[in-house]
Structure 1
Amino acid sequence: MFVFQDLYQNEVHLSFSIDPFCNNPKHVWVICRYNGQWLLTKHKERGLEFPGGKVESGETANDAAIREVMEETGAIVSELTYLGQYKVLGKGKTIIKNIYFAEIESLTNQTSYFETFGPILLQDIPLPLKKNNQYSFIMKDNVLIHSLEQVEKLLSEKE
């Protein structure tokens, strides 16, 4: 387990075990790859980030992950892998998110990408991002760094 502070000095607990903080989290975050590139979305207020959002009533976190990727990027998920979970002890509330890795089958054009401007493909993520104003705060803490390490392990196991 990793414990650190995020950009806003909230305490973050990160684990790559199965449901360490909650069996039914209310939020998801999905690291996506499409044709050898990272698939992000450009949030209208926050900037570049991997897709994610809230689990809606009646759906599982896995279902929410697939839906959020489609809504925010137009991408069709071919394979979804649970990576871990993190908990942010914020001022006034606690947020728990499942982290997933998604292999993307294809991208479709949409008339709306909800609260985003749609898909962004990147060959590389220019780490570190803490001072890069193009990226969302969600991408600027150790959740991203440790999650990308998990993705690299997963991809190397598949080779």
Structure 2
Amino acid sequence: MKEFTDYEGRKVTLKKERVENTKHVLAIPKFNHQYLFTDHKIRGIEFPGGKVETGETLEEAVQRELFEETGATAERLKFVGTYTVHAEKPFNKAVFYIVVKDLFFKCEYLETHGPEVFDDAKEISEEDRSVLLDDECIHYLYEMSKTDEFFN
């Protein structure tokens, strides 16, 4: 288990295993060897993710969120671990690395402006990037994805 601090100063832990009552998902997707982000209407450019709906598996939820926020469909998924924010009401996020099969244009991306593709997160300007990209744990997961053979 690894420990981090999030942008609000809360303790965050990352475990390689699944944790019961995980109600959120986070995707770190790649499309054609580039990272696929979404442009959240409020927070800015970040990785896709969201809440698990009733009756969904974590895999179904991350694929749905990926499509809703970017128009992408997954070719392969790899569960990476569970990201837990130790807030007043703690919550868990299941993290997946995803190889994207297709990227479709959509007329509506719900709470986002749609997909953004970059070779590296460092290319995202300070004014456009979500605070979540600077979260220590998400940054760690992103950096680890660069060395993960899953994407090669």
Q: TM-score, normalised by structure 1?
A: 0.88
Deviation of residue 140 (structure 1)? 1.1
User: 1:3-152 counterparts in 2 under 5 A?
Assistant: 3-15=3-15, 17-19=16-18, 22-90=19-87, 92-126=88-122, 132-152=126-146
**Over aligned residues, Cα RMSD in angstroms?**
1.9
Gap regions ≥5 residues in structure 2: none
The one-letter code matched in structure 2 to 1:23 is E
Please give the per-residue CA displacement for 1:82-104, whole angstroms capped at 9, x wherever unaligned: 011111012x3111001100000
Which TM-score applies when normalising by structure 2?
Answer: 0.92
Give 4+ residue runs of structure 1 displaced > 6 Å after superposition. Answer: none
* Preserved CA contact (<8 Å) 2:78 2:98: yes
Percent identity (aligned) = 35
Cα distance change of structure 1 residues 158 and 66 upon mapping to structure 2, 3 Å threshold = closer
Q: Structure 1 unaligned runs (5+)?
A: none
Instruction: Please state whether the residue corresponding to 2:22 is helix, strand or coil.
Output: coil
Q: Is the 8 A contact 1:83 1:150 kept in 2?
A: no
Contact 1:28 1:61 survives alignment (8 Å) = yes
Pairwise CA distance, 1:33? 0.3
Structure 1 residue 137: Cα displacement:
2.0
